[in-house]
Amino acid sequence: MDWTKAKNILIAAFLVTNLFLLVMLYGGQQGRVSSAVSDQYVAQTIQFLEEQNIELRTELPLTAPSLSSVTVEYHFFSPREMAETVLGEDLIRLDMNTYENDRGRLTVSEEKILIYQKKEQGNILANLDEEKLVTIASDFLKTYDLYLEGLQLEQIYFGVEPEYQEDPLHKLVYQQTYQERFIGESYVNIYIGSHGIVAVEALLLEKIRSIGEGAAGHTMISAPEALLRTVKQIQDYHTSDGPAVITEVLPGYYFPLTRQTIAEGDPIESGTAVPAWKIVLKDGKTFYQEAF
């Protein structure tokens, strides 16, 4: 037998097999026409998730949209100006980013990440239903000009947030959108307890524009593939005995928050939000999987 020829055939077969696997996993993204995944693939994905102690409690999208990336800019806050607007007078400066008085404390990190904690307690609110929660949150957003373009209420959660108070409270999660699709990691989180607003967190974007208007978008990886790529992150986060429950799987855009600054020490001002899948757990924990 010609062992040299046989060896070359085996090497060629090995390379073809690996190329096939790479194409299946990563390839064909540019300009690919979206097609529906098979019912068998979806069933296999759900079965694998269950074996990994992950339960899917939402409809899984069977097709992936074709989206172009978008450019975004951060919305910046002046710590002093925001503190004067939200807290009022008699401010104490705790550090270059944080101000405090009897009404509360306000911090602005890197000129764009706002955290407000209220100290004053008003009267106990009766009948704190969803309508009243939304009204309280909307009034705050309008009063302090936080209703930026595309901001929408995504979810309302109820649970304990030990960072802000020991008793359970409501968390209203707002997120910006572009052409009716989410943009992560933009957010406004408003925490409301029995006495009203307890805390507010915000990271907002502006000047959201598509790259190459009219140009063909890129077809995203399928929702099942995005889930499979996120399994390890979900397992690292969810350490309790019961299954991690997925309640939402949606296509949109993702602009990851970076805490690095450029050499001159100025904060990052803008960047590109790329197509991504958003995977949300029952407790509100959100994962983003870039879709290429």
Which amino acid would we find at residue 281?
A: L
Domain match, 121 and 171 both: yes
Q: Which residues are bridge partners to 249 per DSSP? A: 279
Q: How many residues does the chain have?
A: 292
Q: What is the mean pLDDT of each run of 10 residues along the chain (292 residues)?
A: 45 39 38 67 95 96 92 95 96 96 96 94 87 96 94 94 92 96 95 96 94 68 96 95 96 82 64 95 94 86
pLDDT at position 164: 93
For residue 147, count CB atoms less than 10 angstroms from its CB and return exposed for 0-12, middle for 13-18, buried for 19 or more: middle
User: For residues 267 and 198, is the Cβ–Cβ distance under 8 A?
Assistant: no
Domain match, 97 and 153 both: yes
Number of domains in the chain: 2
Domain match, 226 and 149 both: no
DSSP letters of 8-66?
A: HHHHHHHHHHHHHHHHHHT-S-TTPPP-PPPHHHHHHHHHHHHHTTEEE-SPPPSS--E
- How far apart (Å, rounded) are the C-alpha atoms in residues 85 and 79? 10
Look at residues 210, 241, 265 and tell me which one is the last residue of a structural domain: 210
Q: Which residues constitute the domain of residue 263?
A: 34-69+215-290
Domain match, 198 and 98 both: yes
Phi, psi of 48 (to 5 degrees): -65, -40
- How far apart (Å, rounded) are the C-alpha atoms in residues 143 and 158? 24
Residue 13 lies in a domain: no
Domain match, 228 and 267 both: yes
Look at residues 210, 234, 256 and tell me which one is the last residue of a structural domain: 210
- How far apart (Å, rounded) are the C-alpha atoms in residues 160 and 168? 4
CATH of the domain at 267: 2.40.128
Nearest to 100 by CA among 112, 76, 116, 114: 116
pLDDT at position 216: 58
Domain match, 45 and 113 both: no
Which amino acid would we find at residue 51?
A: E
Q: Which residues are bridge partners to 246 per DSSP? A: 56, 281
- How far apart (Å, rounded) are the C-alpha atoms in residues 253 and 182? 6
Domain match, 48 and 91 both: no
